[in-house]
A and B are shown apart, each in its own frame.
Chain A
């Protein structure tokens, strides 16, 4: 991966008439991980959605230096939200097969992703039968199906046991060493050496109710 730099300049986000955060600036470079911290409702998820391009910023701008000019930032990112984006009626393998074809990766990546997230023995079970932690691992396996320089992870460790968190760490380490960028929200200490913490402070959350515009 080339040298990348994700820059946010005076970003503001408004959802449902409410200013979620404003005047937020930061920069993350290749090989770096940014951990977003702040109380519930501070706007951590909103920031991830804004970076992914799902919620357009109310003001400010986002730039991915060194990224592709033809693709949006979202198209160069993996976004793992709270919801796992997997179908209970499909098996683990079928779920991954669909996302691999949709995201446009290499078909061999499916086996590697199942290996990395310890899903091999569950491959032919319907996702409906998985436990909460196993479902989360299935969602996280999507990260390895197609190569994307930017990973946006919203509480990736929810429901994971200690061994699975360790697997996630290994996967994130490899991504950062390859020159990727990770932005994650989490309440537990992942113990990543490359991580910096970004605190949502009071000046960012300017909580105020405004009318719809």
Chain B
């Protein structure tokens, strides 16, 4: 069970770095949003400081969504998914591996880069640890839910648009608790901790539900 799981993660991470892989797209988009935002808003340092955590979260969320439809499209079109579906590991294990590989190549590197890019938005230095922690945690759920959207819309033309519409409502709780967990001091330390715990609960829920639901959707598509 472990070998198929690790082989899928290994292959998808390798593919993300190859020509046409998604890691550059997600990173480029994230960079573009964060660089353009202060130019568009103007040099109001106090305003930028106030919106920095929320802006970084929005940029992260959109970058993850942008790279979502590559999760299953290629495997569906080239027949790999069918071979995996009848393989030694349950399709749920494959779905978990593919979502984790997406997190490793989209959510996680962006979450780690976010505090660095945050200085373009005049991010308060004391918010960095909380932001980093909540983004690393929350991005896992972003990838899990994006993978679920990708599984439901696999094989459809313009599936990317549909993924956004389907997954957006599910991203709202992550956004609310992610941002409040990141902004720490402003709302008081108690709210920050409880927000982080609820964020973590949503993440755990998504890790359990996404592979099962994704596998069911993929099986239905392959009939």
Contact = CB atoms under 8 A, between A and B. Distances in A.
A120 interface: no
Range class of the B interface residue count: 20 to 34
Interface of A: 15, 52-56, 72, 74-75, 77, 79, 81-87, 89-90, 94, 98-99, 101-104, 142
Given A94-B14, A103-B88, A54 B4 contact: no
B54 interface: no
Interface string B6-42: 1110110011001111000000000000000000000
A101 B12 CA distance: 14
- Residue among A81, A84, A103 having the largest count of chain B Cβ atoms under 10 Å: A103
Given A54-B222, A77-B86, A87-B74, A102 B7 contact: yes
Interface of B: 3-4, 6-8, 10-11, 14-15, 18-21, 74, 77-80, 82-89, 222-223
A55 B82 CA distance: 11
Contacts of A104: 3-4, 88
Contacts of B84: 102
B90 to A, nearest CB: 10
B82 A101 contact: no
Contacts of A89: 15, 18-21
A142 B21 CA distance: 24
Given A102-B7, A102-B8, A83 B222 contact: no
A83 B78 contact: yes
B15 A87 contact: yes
7 contacts: A75-B87, A79-B82, A85-B78, A85-B83, A94-B14, A102-B3, A102-B7
A85 B79 contact: yes
Contacts of A94: 14
